[in-house]
């Protein structure tokens, strides 16, 4: 392997790591925003939203169940779009690694613009529509990361990551520091969005939009292996 290729691979690994960190922080912010301002529904927790949909089908909390069902459906649509955007343009081609982040950023900026236009107070059907857009953005992010960066780089789905870290700590006496860092970043992102929502409610959606835009720019600027040849 040539020196140029080694440098390119290392640059790509660093870019992937920073992209994942930015997206994890953003995921915490988006989930906090959905819970606090859009009807106590998480935007990327499919398990919880599926359960809430079932609760509504069972005859309890119909309004909450409808919001959860909308978030679930939009998440699936976003995941399909993110997978498509991140996949190679043709069989055997290079993955379009940053395209799914551009799509996610557009969704988040649309939400931020809508939020500002209504003075931070979408209500009724508007609130449900904003929730759906945020859920679609999170589906786009999770699926796109899986296709472009690999299934070992979770940015919002932490149940499996944390379970694996605990199991390895108990059975192999080994601490998975990456899992702890990822969990901490998600918590900090939610805390930051909560503080922003309390202090400057109208600007709250700008935080995830800026973070995902920064992640897109980071991944977009990464040289491809072919560039070093």
d(CA 132, CA 122): 13
pLDDT score for 76: 95
Which of 77, 68, 53 lies closest to 137, judged by CA? 77
pLDDT score for 6: 55
pLDDT score for 227: 46
d(CA 202, CA 82): 28
What are the structural domain ranges in the chain?
A: 31-219
Residues 6+ apart with CB under 8 A from 154: 142, 145, 160, 161, 182
| 104 and 212 Cβ atoms separated by less than 8 Å | yes
pLDDT score for 229: 44
| 144 and 86 Cβ atoms separated by less than 8 Å | yes
pLDDT tens digits along 36-75: 988 888 898 888 888 988 998 988 888 888 999 999 999 9
d(CA 42, CA 71): 8
pLDDT score for 132: 94
At which residue do the structure tokens 């919002």 appear? 156
3-state secondary structure the chain: CCHHHHHHHHHHHHHHHHHHHHHHHHHHHHHHHHHHHCCCCCCCCHHHHHHHHHHHHCCCCHHHHHHHHHHHHHHHHHHHHHHHHHCCCCCCCCCCCCHHHHHHHHHHHHHHHHHHHCCCCCCCHHHHHHHHHHHHHHHHHHHHHHHHCCCCCCCCCCHHHHHHHHHHHHHCCCCCHHHHHHHHHHHHHHHHHHHHHHHCHHHCCHHHHHHHHHHHHHHHCCCCHHHHC
Q: Give the pTM.
A: 0.87
pLDDT in tens, the chain (229 residues): 565 555 666 777 888 889 999 999 999 999 999 999 888 888 988 888 889 889 989 888 888 889 999 999 999 999 999 999 988 755 555 567 789 999 999 999 999 999 999 888 777 888 899 999 999 999 999 999 988 887 677 787 777 777 888 888 888 888 888 888 888 999 999 999 999 999 999 899 999 999 999 999 998 887 655 544 4
pLDDT score for 71: 93
How far the first Cα of the chain sits from its last, in Å, is 10
């Amino acid at each position: 392997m040539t020196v140029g290729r080694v440098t390119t691979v290392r640059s790509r690994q660093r870019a992937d790591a920073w992209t994942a960190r930015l997206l994890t922080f953003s995921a915490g912010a988006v989930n906090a925003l959905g819970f606090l301002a859009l009807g106590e529904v998480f935007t990327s927790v499919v398990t919880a939203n599926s359960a809430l949909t079932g609760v509504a089908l069972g005859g309890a909390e119909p309004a909450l169940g409808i919001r959860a069902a909308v978030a679930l459906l939009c998440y699936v649509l976003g995941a399909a779009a993110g997978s498509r955007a991140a996949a190679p343009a043709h069989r055997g081609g290079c993955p379009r690694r940053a395209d799914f982040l551009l799509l996610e950023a557009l969704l988040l900026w649309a939400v931020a613009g809508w939020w500002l236009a209504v003075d931070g107070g979408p209500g009724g059907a508007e609130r449900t529509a904003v929730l759906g857009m945020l859920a679609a953005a999170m589906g786009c992010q999770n699926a796109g990361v899986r296709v472009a960066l690999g299934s070992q780089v979770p940015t919002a789905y932490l149940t499996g990551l944390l379970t694996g870290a605990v199991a390895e700590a108990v059975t192999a006496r080994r601490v998975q520091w990456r899992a702890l860092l990822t969990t901490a970043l998600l918590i900090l992102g939610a805390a930051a969005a909560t503080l922003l929502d309390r202090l400057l409610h109208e600007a709250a959606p700008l935080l995830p939009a800026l973070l995902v835009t920064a992640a897109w720019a980071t991944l977009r600027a990464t040289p491809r292996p072919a560039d070093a040849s």
